[in-house]
Amino acid sequence: MRLGIFGRGRLGGAIAMEIAKYTASPEALELRWTEGRDACARDRVEVAVEASHASAVLDHLAWALETGTDLVIATTGWKIPDLAERVGGRIGVLVSPNLSLGVALMRRLAALMGAYAAADPDAELGIIEHHHRMKLDSPSGTALSIAQAVQESCPRFSGWNIGAWEKDKVNIACLRTGFEVGRHELVLDAPLESLTISHRAKDRRVFAAGAMKAARWIWGRRGVYSMDDFAADVFKN
């Protein structure tokens, strides 16, 4: 399978390095090109990974639709409200702010914690996340996806906030300092007990490995998918 990468930063570079592990496997991948956020690739590939910048996602989506290229969007901080309508059944698009299967599992556990909180009106849920000093978006896309999983299973949570406590909001605390690749904690605090789920990415290779598996999975599919859809295949047994 031929692959292209939009993005030459930390994530794009890690993905390019990870591809070497797949060249001798039955899931052989061939990296045909890497491009920056402003460039547009010319060579035909089966799947492209968008790992550049939020401002480039719309242009790269348009390129994918024009060329019939399936797309994995790993970039965070962008919004395309009519994404499903744009894509239709023309190509496959997998959207995930975090390509770690461990984080996909954490979202499943977050849904269970949300269901627990739904049964106890005094239980509160909050998220703590820490990333390196160069990360631009805050909260992280991963933190927001965890908050979304909570809200879907506990309807009394109507959204999230940063700062002082607000009733029926998932409070998120963000730290941007140092060199942390990514740490997320979901905290349930009730009057009689507390529970914490934690995930820490030790190396960006975890996202790169996830991107490779996601690229294989989305190839040939049609429509817009999330990491939950991908993980459902992995965790179905």
The residues annotated as belonging to the active site are: 131, 135
Which residue pairs from 112-117 have beta carbons closer than 8 angstroms and sit at least 24 positions apart in sequence? 112/153, 113/150, 113/153, 113/186, 113/188, 113/195, 113/197, 114/149, 114/150, 114/151, 114/152, 114/153, 114/154, 114/157, 115/153, 115/154, 116/188, 117/150, 117/154, 117/156, 117/157, 117/188, 117/190
Q: How far is CA 4 from CA 60, 116, 138, 165, in A?
A: 11, 42, 28, 44
Greatest Cα pair distance in the chain:
60
If DSSP codes are grouped into helix, strand and coil, which group holds residue 38? coil
Q: For residue 70, what are the β-bridge partners?
A: 47
Question: How many Å apart are CA 62 and CA 142, to the nearest integer?
Answer: 25
Question: How many Å apart are CA 15 and CA 159, to the nearest integer?
Answer: 33
Radius of gyration of the chain (CA): 18
